[in-house]
Amino acid sequence: MKKNHVLLSILLFFTIASSSQTVLFQKFYNLSEEDEANDIIATSDGNFFIAGKTKNSEGIENILIIKVDDLGDTIWTKTYCGDSVSDARKIIQTSDGNYLIAGGLMGKALLLKINIEGDSLWSMTFPNEYEEGFKEMIELPNSDIILIKWIYLLPISSRLIKIDSIGNIDWSIDGSCKEFHDLHLISDNEFLLSGWEGDVFYPNVFLRKYDFAGNLIFNKQFFEFQGQNKCMDISGQNVLLGCGREANVGGYQSVVIKTDFQGNAEEWFDLTNIPTWMVEALVIDDNDHIITCSPSFVWEKYYVNGLNQTGNIIGSIELEITPAWGDIGIIDINEFLYVTGNAYNNTNGKDIFLVKINLDSLVSTNTEEYIIAAKSINIYPNPANDIIYIDLQYDMVDENTAVIIRNITGSKVERTINQRSSIIKIPVNDLNNGVYFLSISMSDQPVITEKIIIVH
């Protein structure tokens, strides 16, 4: 097993200097005090469906579908199951040109099919023993559906189900004490399942391959990796798993696991220089870049990151959105990335957000300029006791030069602004012992962050 710490040999990562060129828009949608988005999909007419839930005038949670255009403007908004508690967790386009929604209805797993105008075509629920709901699904070439059913128990349990085109259950696989998370087709008769199992405090990530009859082909368990899996995508013959690994300081640290279709290889890409909780969403773009989205440790903002296939971070931006608990939907279309999820508003309610990102600006394939900029900066001593010096090239310094130090949770603990000298002196004697992240921003330069250690 090989660990790749993604530090470009000098523990640095790079972000695009101007986020205004990267984030094309950031919009919010508010229908009630508790709105939630869980998924996004491109529609056949060039627009998008955002799927989630909202509260109606009686305070009952209903399935919500918002149709927006590529500028984020609302075309229409529709709700479903008006007098019954319901939610949408996943939406896909099916082979008949319509759209299938998976979620829950009054504690039962629910499927709801709509057309492109949002008209309800049919719905069905499935027998349940406990409170249950569908959370993920894929359509097979013969129009059968494989779904993940989440069972609301302690310990967490899941079930894998295959149904035919009219809803008859062909087979079911139990996942007691396991959380099944993501599905991906890899051939005309095989699919992958990712998730985690075991004690919630000491979980192990797994990757399984099944055939369409439900026969297990392999079960790869990442025993050395203590953490949870949240998402998956494939690139060529590689599988990328978005995860959170237990950190030494508590909580989780964002990690991407790279393996092959047989689960034979194992490589970790630790996003150690980005103070994020875990990889909540992951997608591989058309240029084979790995795009991840993660909340910060203290859930004060989102980070969208771009990695190449060797795990080097070649782009990262911060979204000034206060994350609220829930899923993140992510999709890349025509060199643009669309991210949707949930954010707290000023009244501590929840809004739905949608962000459009220019992938060309986020993920620069010209990493040489970033490496040159990083090597032009010397930060010493490290570890430090009472003072840290930052030695910059003089022509890199101007009135916009700024330094920010964050602790392991992502909170700002020190900020130095408008430094004209090429050597910046920062007292750190009042900081507690531990790991911090020092970020330097300069005009027309990438933001550079280095991990520093304070030892008194």
Q: What residues contact residue 76 under an 8 Å CB cut-off, 6+ apart? A: 66, 67, 118
**230 and 321 together in one domain:** yes
**227 and 325 together in one domain:** yes
Give CA torsion, residues 247, 252, 255, 257, to 10 deg: 90
CB-CB contact of 218 with 237 (8 Å): no
The parent domain of residue 104 ranges over 2-369
Determine the pLDDT at residue 408: 62
Task: Point out the residues of the chain with pLDDT beneath 70.
Answer: 1-21, 154, 200, 247-251, 272-273, 364-376, 393-398, 400, 408-412, 414-420, 442-447
- Residue 374 has φ and ψ, to the nearest 5°, of -65, -40
Cis peptide before 295 (omega within 30 of 0): no
Cβ neighbours around 3 below 10 Å, total: 14
* CATH number for position 95: 2.120.10.30
**357 and 244 together in one domain:** yes
- Residue 104 has φ and ψ, to the nearest 5°, of -140, 155
Domain count, the chain: 2
What is the distance between the alpha carbons of residues 132 and 421, in angstroms, rounded to a whole number? 61
**288 and 258 together in one domain:** yes
Determine the pLDDT at residue 360: 85
**403 and 266 together in one domain:** no
Determine the pLDDT at residue 349: 85
What is the Cα 358 distance to its own chain's centre? 17
**360 and 403 together in one domain:** no
What is the Cα 397 distance to its own chain's centre? 35
Domain boundary among 353, 369, 385: 369
**420 and 448 together in one domain:** yes
CB-CB contact of 41 with 31 (8 Å): no
What is the distance between the alpha carbons of residues 375 and 367, in angstroms, rounded to a whole number? 12
- The Cβ-side half-sphere exposure at 330, using a 13 Å CA radius, reads 26
Domain boundary among 342, 369, 396: 369
* CATH number for position 409: 2.60.40.1930
**350 and 410 together in one domain:** no
Question: Among candidates 61, 63, 65, which has minimal Cα distance to 50?
Answer: 65
Question: Among candidates 406, 433, 444, 440, which has minimal Cα distance to 274?
Answer: 406
Give CA torsion, residues 353, 68, 229, 9, to 10 deg: -70
Determine the pLDDT at residue 374: 55
Q: What residues contact residue 410 under an 8 Å CB cut-off, 6+ apart? A: 275, 276, 296, 297, 298, 300, 301
What is the distance between the alpha carbons of residues 164 and 180, in angstroms, rounded to a whole number? 21
**138 and 87 together in one domain:** yes
Q: Which residues pair with 3 in a beta bridge?
A: 268
The pLDDT tens digits of the residues spanning 316-350 come to: 888 888 888 888 999 999 889 999 999 988 887 89
Is the Cα dihedral 104, 110, 114, 120 positive or negative? negative
Determine the pLDDT at residue 446: 56
Give the global pTM: 0.80
Cβ neighbours around 226 below 10 Å, total: 17
**304 and 388 together in one domain:** no
CB-CB contact of 417 with 406 (8 Å): no
**423 and 282 together in one domain:** no
Domain boundary among 306, 340, 369: 369
**140 and 210 together in one domain:** yes
Cis peptide before 323 (omega within 30 of 0): no
Determine the pLDDT at residue 96: 95
